[in-house]
Amino acid sequence: MDLVQLPNPPTTRTRSRTLADFLKRVQDAQNDAPPEPLAPPHHVLDLSSSSTTHPFVLSFSNLTYSVKLRRKFTFFPTTTVSPPDHETKPSGTKTLLNDISGEARDGEIMAVLGASGSGKSTLIDALANRISKESLKGTVTLNAEVLDSSLLKVISAYVMQDDLLFPMLTVEETLMFAAEFRLPRSLSKSKKKARVQALIDQLGLRSAASTVIGDEGHRGVSGGERRRVSIGIDIIHDPIVLFLDEPTSGLDSTSAFMVVKVLQRIAQSGSIVIMSIHQPSYRILGLLDHLIFLSHGNTVYSGSPANLPAFFSEFGHPIPENENRTEFALDLIRELEEQPGGTKSLVDFNKSWQLKEKNSVQSQNDHKPKPSLKDAISASISRGKLVSGANGNGKNSTAAVSVPAFANPFWMEMAVIGKRSLTNSRRMPELFGIRLGAVLVTGVILATIFWHLDDSPKGVQERVGFFAFAMSTTFYTCAEAIPVFLQERYIFMRETAYNAYRRSSYVLSHAIISLPSLLFLSFAFAATTFWAVGLAGGSSGFLFYFLVIVASFWAGSSFVTFLSGVVSHVMIGFTVVVAILAYFLLFSGFFISRDRIPPYWIWFHYLSLVKYPYEGVLQNEFDVNSPRCFVRGIQMFDNTPLGMVPETLKVELLKSMSKTLGMNITRSTCVITGADVLKQQGITQLNKWSCFWITVAWGFFFRFLFYLTLLFGSRNKRR
């Protein structure tokens, strides 16, 4: 198991009540049973709240982040108003964060406020390490120690603005799967369930526990409940730091208040809660402990909500008694932004105010002990916080503590991912039903068109056409896999960004759970067409035909899955898949044989996915142990100008040819066998089993490429 090593500490340790303590209290109330003699460290009975200091302090100083502006080309000149100097620089870069500093403490909620485009989400991303280090200037520390990226993934969680959830899972199932991912294997199934039940009660989701999440086509929970579920799946392991991007966006005032009330309880359990919020109500403002107002990436206020009246009074704009403080502040900031000087005067006043406040706070805190990061994390783990790190030695603060990068082993992650995907898919049977229907309809059409083909020259051509269409159809029906990952893309990015599971577990799990459906579809297509068309080989021929179709579905599904990891839009994905598969069919050898393909295009022939299964089934049909004859005697004149002459004349022509060639050719003499057909098609390099195994190998190759796209293309960081 990958471990994240914590830095070396001093020996100070503090205590505060954690979310795990609350959960333990609920669990004990539910089942009044004596504790196990060797209870794991995340079930702590001590509910003491004797917190003398803040064990965790997240500090950030001089955060600056700029992006390059893309030059827009227009055909007609337009009149534009120049933005303020602090927003856009002459060099063509836009400053999203400009020298932002502050700190957040556990037990408190820090809220970042500002108008749209002020930099709220950018600041949250900067603190959550979602901006590349090359682009972000400044420092972010936890307990005065620079945060390592791998450690931050383990001790923190990030709740996105959009509720990214599986639609057909219930609230309880969603949280239970999150518990399976984030809680360690050492925690028993019953205790994981108890933890989920306690969390459901704390989030106020008991009445909706058995309701599916829902989507546009399925009725589910309300918007406020969805938001609380999104928060719940990220706090199931009791993280030390919780980031939220506008958790109240799109909610009514009551639902928004309930969400922030939940966040307050999370903060009081010993977590640092940092969130962005657009315009909090009066009730929500009473739950917040620290505010940061931003304007075009600059800090215009940073401090307690209680200090807002004094701050703006000294600035010369006192807040009326009956007015919402944050609404007044945001309205004033918006008015200043529209003035020529912008908010520069307010930014400068805030700097002088902060300097005065900093001096007074430092004089009050000089006598307080400052625990190290390792010591604070050790104490938190010993009290039950950061459950995924419960394997660490929390009894000895001076001992080396290692927090596992992933809570569970590789194979367990695969099992949970597979179970979740199957549960979600099982409740939408129409998706598989539509695909099965498409395969069966295609099979029936092919079976009825190519019904019982004979061994005549026309039968040979019809067989070749049937195989080309059948093999290409298996690839085209795989295009339905494009939306599957695109719908899960952001769920995957959210979960892997903070080490819920490994990317390799996701790739292998989805490859394995796709096999049963591929086998079923392959058998349905093979059974529908093999005997109806009159293909050769008997039972062994059917078995190979079935295996090649399975390999084709496997390679096609893997190819489409890889493309879904590259493209970001469903329509773009369908367009690319259809175009590339058309090229594969063009170069497969059906329209033009390998010997006739120009040298500068021959490389595409060998890259064609359709080539190998197409050649495999042709060899299975024409290269059988008992050779069949497809052209006899006078049949050689078919499809030629001599095909319309009387049969007696054809016999005379055969006699003349026999004399000329010195061999007896009668009307029943075999002229073209299956081997000759294969030579005419240019199929002479690979045997049928080689074609089969190459098709299977293509599937594994594209699954590996899919893994690489997830590894390097889903970092979820700004540049």
10-residue averages of pLDDT along the chain (719 residues): 51 43 46 40 33 71 86 48 47 84 91 89 90 87 85 85 87 93 87 90 89 86 89 87 88 87 88 90 90 92 90 89 87 88 88 78 56 77 62 38 75 93 88 90 94 86 92 88 81 84 92 93 95 91 96 94 87 90 92 89 93 93 75 74 76 76 75 82 88 96 94 72
Identify whether residues 564 and 488 lie together within a single domain: yes
CA distance 168 to 215: 8
Please report where in the chains the tokens 């709740």 appear, as a residue.
Answer: 159
Identify whether residues 338 and 418 lie together within a single domain: no
Identify the CATH number of the domain in which residue 253 sits.
Answer: 3.40.50.300
Flag whether 235 is in a domain. Answer: yes
The pLDDT of residue 367: 53
Flag whether 31 is in a domain. Answer: no
Whole-model pTM: value is 0.79
Flag whether 183 is in a domain. Answer: no
Flag whether 476 is in a domain. Answer: yes
Flag whether 398 is in a domain. Answer: no
Identify whether residues 520 and 633 lie together within a single domain: yes
Identify whether residues 154 and 265 lie together within a single domain: yes
CA distance 520 to 28: 48
The pLDDT of residue 464: 92
CA distances from 698 to 172, 554, 606 (A): 39, 9, 12
Give the distance, in angstroms, between the CA of residue 249 and the centroid of all CA atoms in the same chain. 22
When divided into structural domains, the chain yields a total of 2
Ordered alpha helix ranges (H), 450-598: 457-476, 482-497, 503-533, 538-566, 570-586
CA triplet 157, 150, 485: central angle to 5 degrees?
A: 60
The pLDDT of residue 507: 94
Identify whether residues 270 and 419 lie together within a single domain: no
Give the distance, in angstroms, between the CA of residue 256 and the centroid of all CA atoms in the same chain. 27
CA distance 203 to 228: 6
Domain boundary among 334, 352, 370: 352
Query: Which residue spans within 202-340 are E strands per DSSP?
Result: 241-245, 272-276, 290-295, 298-303
**Beta strands 3-5 and 298-303: pairing type?**
unpaired
The pLDDT of residue 11: 40
Identify whether residues 331 and 455 lie together within a single domain: no
Flag whether 261 is in a domain. Answer: yes
The pLDDT of residue 554: 96
Identify whether residues 422 and 570 lie together within a single domain: yes
Structural domain containing residue 263: 57-65+93-169+218-352
CA distance 220 to 168: 9
Residue 232 neighbours by CB under 8 Å, 6+ apart: 174, 175, 178, 199, 200, 203, 205
Domain boundary among 324, 352, 380: 352
The pLDDT of residue 209: 92
Domain boundary among 310, 335, 352: 352
Identify whether residues 322 and 417 lie together within a single domain: no
The pLDDT of residue 2: 55
Identify whether residues 246 and 150 lie together within a single domain: yes
Contact, 53 vs 376, CB < 8 A?
A: no
Identify whether residues 329 and 443 lie together within a single domain: no
Identify whether residues 415 and 345 lie together within a single domain: no
Kindly report the backbone phi and psi dihedral angles of residue 236, in degrees, each rounded to the nearest multiple of 5, phi listed first.
-60, -30
Flag whether 245 is in a domain. Answer: yes
Flag whether 46 is in a domain. Answer: no
Identify whether residues 286 and 423 lie together within a single domain: no
